[in-house]
Structure 1
Amino acid sequence: MKTMQYIFTCCSLSVLLFSCDSFLDENPKGVLSNEQLNTPENVEKMVIAAYSSLGNDHYTEPNSPWPYGDLRSGDAYKGGAGTGDMQEFHFYETFTYLRDDIGLLDSKWYKEYVAISRANNALARLNAIDEADFSKKMIRIAEMRFLRAHYYFELKLLFKQIPFIDETVPVEEYINVSNVEFTSQQLWDKIIEEFRFAAQTLPDNNAEVGRANKWMAKSYLAKALLYAAYEQDEKHNVTNINKDKLTEVVNLTSEVINSGKYGLNADYADNFLCETENSKESIFAVQHSRNDGTLHGRLDWGAMLNYPMNPEYGCCGFHQASQNLVNSFQTDDKGLPKFADFNSKNLNTPDDLLQNNVDPRLNHSVAIPGLPYKYNPEFIFEAWWNRQPEVYGAFMSLKEVVLPDCPCFEKVNPFMSSSKNRDIIRYDDVLLWKAEALIELGRESEALPLINSIRERAANSTARLVDVQGDPTGKFVVGTYQPGINCTWTNDFARQALRWERRMEFAMEGFRFFDLVRWGIAAEYLNSYFAVEKTRREHLREAKFTKNRDEYFPIPKQQINFSKKLYVQNYGW
């Protein structure tokens, strides 16, 4: 936002200077007038620039939500070289020493508004072009509003009260836009309005892979409505669940499901491999690239820190699964989750997985010493591949990484990553959004087949989970819910099953914390987690979630100062 204000100010001064004397009528090299920019060809480039913000990434404030959604949820530890390595992430994980002057939070805020400014810039220029001169005008407007809504959605989850700035606000007025001009619910309504326009305007299919289409917009609209349905007061307590919004979630997700455009992959693994990206399950993904004419390509910089320390990789051992998460994949003799006592027995070794019933999604999500790494039976993960196992244990995350011989892998010394896409919305998410809405509407029987379809796919996703002899690397047992046979499918039980399923399906993907806040259970859940997990991990000894504060990050102090104290700090901070 500061960058855009500077650019616009410079442009305004240039216009004044070049209107004074006839000998200055010729534009100097390197400067473009608005008239020159407001052409279909140049506006298309600005649209692409707005898309590029999806991949303008860095490991310190990544677009990937893992530091914000996994570390703060009890699903993952920070990892790395002790608590001082990327110390801000340690503060995220433990909450205790989190402050409003954390520089990486300010950077995250700033990066999101740079992305929004790109969408706004493109929209302002699109508005100035006649549709007769640019037949794709309305489609591109819908794409930009879709992207703008995505960036605002991310800001809303992180900071709650944010300034909403669109293309009609002059740059010089940015400083006068408050973050409390709209209430929390009104901000949701603004985001929903953006996605609704996109859903009504975008075509079923867009020209290039990755461009927004109607079904992406309908899916994201459903997600925004689901979050908005859980209405919060100023203190972040959930005070009401809006049934009208939930009903629309059901209708929208049904449209996406019935469109025939998407479906579950036969193997869960296909969601996390370069060779199967943009599959039928992927609805909205960041399109990364390699060997595209740039220095290192458009790699997934958000995963740069998350590779092991062995010679084939080399750095940096971040994003390590918690013991609690690993234990939660245990199933009972019926193949159902061990809701009550999952955490009474630790899973740590290959023998533990062979001797206890486990959900195979564990092996897709978490690297465990002694087992194949990323589906290669001859590439065995070892405890010493972790950077500091004595602090953070021996597990690591698997979904975001690739094998060192993958064509999409690239080293950017001392770091490394890949051009594998990162899914923002998948079809499995759409199924579980619908199930959640149905349960909260008291229609849990309709949610049952949706949850069971996810579990059936999990049960069948074992082909890649084998050792060099071709034998299974775990005692994989996943059953479906069968009311009257292995469970009593009440509304409360269905809610518990749905929430558990979301944890299993999206483990280590950065969504969990935002689920907990949406449901209004973050404080109770996380303090219960800390009570046990701090006996296993010394770095959590002071961890504590403060209710009515830690549901959201503080508004960065630098931004409050920049606004000349116009911005209002979130409750509790």
Structure 2
Amino acid sequence: MRNNKIFLFGLLAMIFLSSCSADMLEYKPEGLLSKSDVSTPENLEGLVIAAYAGIANDEMVGPITHQWVYGSVRADDAYKGGGGIGDVDVIHRYEMYNLTIPDYGDWMTPRTWVNYYKAISRANFALELINETSEATFPNKKIRQAELRFLRAHSHFMLKLLFKKVPYIVETMSADEKAKASNDMTNDELWNKIADDFLFAFNTLPQTQAEAGRADKGAAAAYLAKLRLYQAYEQNDTHKVININPTRLQEVITYADQVTGSLEPDFGNNFLFGYDNGPESIWAAQFSKNDGTLVSRVSFVTGLNSPHGSGLYGCCGFHLASQNMVNAFKTNANGLPLLDNFNQVDIFNEIDGSGKAPLASGVTLDPRIDHTVGIPGRPFKYRNRVNNPNDMIYNFSWARDPGVYGYFGNMKEQQAPDCSCFVKEGPFIGTSKNIDFIRYADVLLWKAEALIQLNQVSQGMAIINQIRTRANNSKNRPINAGASDVYNIGTYPLSLSKVEALKALKFERRLEFAMEGFRFFDLVRWGEAAEVLNGYIEVEKTKRSFLSNAHFTAGRDEYYPIPQREIDVTGGLYKQNPGY
């Protein structure tokens, strides 16, 4: 969290919690602290800050903030990229849906598991001490308890999206109870345990907080809307959606209406430093620079993903837009997406003699493509650098391995090298730009989805049109290049059938959140992952041969395997997901 306090995280490792026997001398070894030492208002506030840091203690090899690996590359939005399939080959295995043996060779998801449970441990440790402190001593007690339960629920929620069956660990459990906690509970039981924490936060937190980055009532309401939406799509033991619960859908609408926010007037504001914690940012990981730490409190989770050959960044050309996703931004004469046949023709021609990728004749585009994808010949991050008028034009040479992964890049997660948020540590790039977990556009589209599923189609379509109108207004920055670039985006009629409206809703989510790491989880929620992704592979492998042997297996690949080391440590207590 951005504030002026610097909390000594080593404190957690030094705390002395065991009681002394009666015959011991009244001596306190140096470096050891008792509960009473720690439970001062200042130290308790520090523990809360440490818990906030826990949900953003990210790394390139065990990501917990930006889900580019698990939610984007794993879907039809993007390729792994990098220097061929052997470069960080575990992500290639994810992309091929080749995880049938949860062995120790899969080092990324086990680190993500551990990183989330480290964050949960921080929240629980702070709760344990704050629970024992009176409000007279610590006037912020109730609010901080609510924030910590919100943080704990966030980590459990993300674990559930990734692994489905996870143990729910709370501060009131003894060490023995934690060791014996199973992951073998029903979907509804686990959803409701997570919801209980969010409900406590919703009922306790103020509408707004004075310090940016703290969870508030609106963030809790948004997360409850998200949780109830996922819970509404009821799955059986092999992950098949067998029912859509209307009561849960109504809760989505109820909680979405409790969220205060608005869309940024320009779509691009969401992806530029300087607009952090704006009206569209409902819940975000906070980062900082020049804060007294060694390399600053910046995010390196996308540190592999900058353009490789630009000379402006360094390394390593990962997370590259798929041809399928690029084609999805094509629009028809009415400015609407081609829902059923968008992928029949590639919208950009091959690289021409000048190193550009010209737009195919007669094609019109949703402008969000140039906020999302790096395309040769088009400006990168909206502008050229001062005194260097050409060096921010995305160039074919920036593609590290075009023979394998093509020449499209990623845009949203990048910042210009002369941004005050930019940090280069060796070849890797970090920035102090926040990472949004929930944007207000998300909340609107969750509500639209619930409305359409409840047969209130025109109300849902009106919300989708609100998102599309904002996209149409997001053409003022220099995001295109050349007279042949044509933007054409329109709104839908409100009189669509339910089937047509759901198709429009799902496509809109893809366009709005392309490459932000949500796509795979959407497909699993809808019960469409196998159909959509195998259809994607069937066509995409004709253009990208590295996908030739990829295949999504329904009933297995919707979730990752429970890390084998966790099963081993618990003596087989944790139950493995089916198919592994």
User: Which TM-score band (shorter chain)?
Assistant: over 0.9
2:43 & 2:57 partners in 1: Cα distance?
Answer: 20
The two structures, once aligned, show a CA RMSD in angstroms of: 1.7
Paired with 1:472 and 1:446, the residues of 2 have a C-alpha distance of: 37
SS of 2:331's equivalent in the other structure is coil
With normalisation by structure 2, the TM-score equals 0.93
- Distance, in Å, in 1 between the alignment partners of 2:557 and 2:285 is 29
The count of residues paired between Structure 1 and Structure 2 equals 553
Counterparts of 2:144 and 2:484, CA distance in 1: 48
Q: State the alpha-carbon separation in 2 of the partners of residues 438 and 217 from structure 1.
A: 21
Which of 486, 495, 516 is matched with 1:509 structurally?
A: 516
Aligned-partner Cα distance in 2 for 1:247–1:472? 47
Change in 2 beyond 3 A, CA 1:162/1:466: closer
Partner of 2:257: 254
Show the counterpart of 2:316: 316
Partners of 1:401 and 1:417 within 8 A in 2: no
Alpha-carbon shift at residue 96 of structure 1 (Å)? 2.4
Find the counterpart in structure 2 of residue 99 from structure 1.
101
Output the CA distance in 1 between the equivalents of 2:472 and 2:540. Answer: 29
The amino acid that maps onto 2:264 is N
Q: Report what 2:490 is aligned to.
A: 479
Question: What is aligned with 1:118?
Answer: 122
1:176-221 superposed Cα distances (whole Å, 9 cap, x missing partner): 11111x2111100111111111001000111210001101111111
Are the equivalent residues in 2 in contact too, given 1:202–1:213 (CA < 8 A)? yes
Within a 5 Å distance, the mapping from 1:143-182 to structure 2 comes to 143-180=147-184, 182=185
Letter in 2 for 1:396: G
Letter in 1 for 2:155: Y
Q: Which of 139, 142, 145 is matched with 1:138 structurally?
A: 142
Structure 2 residue corresponding to 1:434, chosen from 432, 447, 456: 447
Any idea what SS the aligned residue of 1:275 has? coil
Change (3 A) 1:160 1:301: same
CA distance in 1, matches of 2:273, 2:23: 57
* Alignment counterpart, residue 84 of structure 1, candidates 83, 86, 92: 86
Change (3 A) 1:353 1:142: farther
Secondary structure (helix, strand or coil) at the match of 1:301 reads coil
1:271-286 to structure 2, matched below 5 A, reads: 271-286=270-285
Change (3 A) 1:196 1:381: same
1:241 aligns with 2:254: no
Q: Which residue, 67, 70, 85 being the options, matches 1:68?
A: 70
Letter in 2 for 1:315: C
Q: Is the 8 A contact 2:371 2:479 kept in 1?
A: no
Which residue of 2 is the match for residue 222 of structure 1? 225
Instruction: Tell me the distance in 2 between the aligned counterparts of 1:473 and 1:174.
Output: 62
Give the direction of change, closer, same or farther, for the CA distance of 1:380–1:355 in structure 2 (3 Å limit). farther
Paired residues of 2:100 and 2:579 also in contact (CA < 8 A): no
Q: 3-state SS of the aligned residue for 2:84?
A: coil
Contact 1:247 1:437 (8 Å CA) reproduced: yes
Provide the rounded CA distance (Å) in 1 between the counterparts of 2:211 and 2:14.
35
Preserved contact between residue 269 and residue 364 of structure 1 (Cα < 8 Å): yes
Q: Tell me the residue number matched to 1:201.
A: 204
* Aligned twin of 2:463: 450
Kindly provide the CA deviation profile for residues 7-62 of structure 1, in whole angstroms up to 9, marking residues without a partner as x. 899945x644x75432xx22122111122112222111111110001221100111
Q: Which residue of 2 is the match for residue 410 of structure 1?
A: 423
Contact 1:149 1:191 in 2 (8 A): yes
Deviating beyond 4 angstroms after TM superposition, the runs of 4 or more aligned structure 1 residues are: 7-12
Question: Partner of 2:505 in structure 1?
Answer: 498
Question: 1:46 maps to which residue?
Answer: 47
CA distance in 1, matches of 2:290, 2:101: 40
- The one-letter amino acid paired with 1:111 is N
| Identical columns (%) | 48
Q: Indicate if the aligned counterparts of 1:55 and 1:298 stay in contact, CA closer than 8 A.
A: no
Counterpart AA for 2:271: F
List alignment gaps of at least 5 residues for structure 1: none
Structure 1 CA distance, aligned partners of 2:358 and 2:46?
55
Q: How has the CA–CA distance of structure 1 residues 176 and 473 changed in structure 2, closer, same or farther, with 3 Å as cutoff?
A: farther
Q: Secondary structure at the match of 2:330?
A: coil
Deviations 1:110-143 (A, max 9, x none): 1110100000001111110011211110000000
Amino acid at match of 1:343: N
* Separation of aligned partners in 1, 2:240 and 2:358: 43
Q: Distance in 2 between matches of 1:557 and 1:414?
A: 32
Superposed, 1:356-435 pairs within 5 Å as 356-377=363-384, 378=389, 379-435=392-448
CA drift of 1:299 comes to 1.0
Map 1:5-16; keep pairs closer than 5 Å: 11=16, 15-16=19-20
Q: State the shift of 1:88 in Å.
A: 1.0
* Secondary structure of residue in 1 paired with 2:326: helix
SS in 1 for 2:215: coil
Q: Secondary structure at the residue paired with 2:577?
A: coil
Q: Give 1 or 2: higher helix fraction.
A: 1
Secondary structure of the residue that 1:336 maps to in structure 2?
coil
Q: Alpha carbons of 1:435 and 1:20: their partners in 2 closer, same or farther (altered >3 Å)?
A: same
Q: Secondary structure at the match of 2:441?
A: helix
Q: Which SS does the other structure have where 1:134 is aligned?
A: coil
- 2:192 is aligned to 189
2:513 is equivalent to residue 534 of structure 1: no
Q: In structure 1, the residue corresponding to 2:149 is in which secondary structure?
A: helix
Tell me the distance in 2 between the aligned counterparts of 1:184 and 1:121: 26
2:318 maps to a residue whose letter is F
Alignment partner, residue 303 of structure 1: 302
d(CA) in 1 for partners of 2:56, 2:248: 31
CA distance in 1, matches of 2:403, 2:378: 20
Question: How far apart in 1 are the matches of 2:425 and 2:347?
Answer: 34
Distance 1:163 1:503, change over 3 A: same
- Residues 133, 503 of structure 1: alpha-carbon distance in 2 compared, 3 angstrom cutoff: same
Q: Give the direction of change, closer, same or farther, for the CA distance of 1:548–1:467 in structure 2 (3 Å limit).
A: closer
- The answer to which of 245-254 and 554-563 deviates more is 245-254
Q: Aligned letter for 2:534?
A: N
Instruction: Provide the secondary structure at the position in 1 that maps to 2:550.
Output: coil
Conserved in 2, the CA contact under 8 Å of 1:236 and 1:551?
Answer: yes
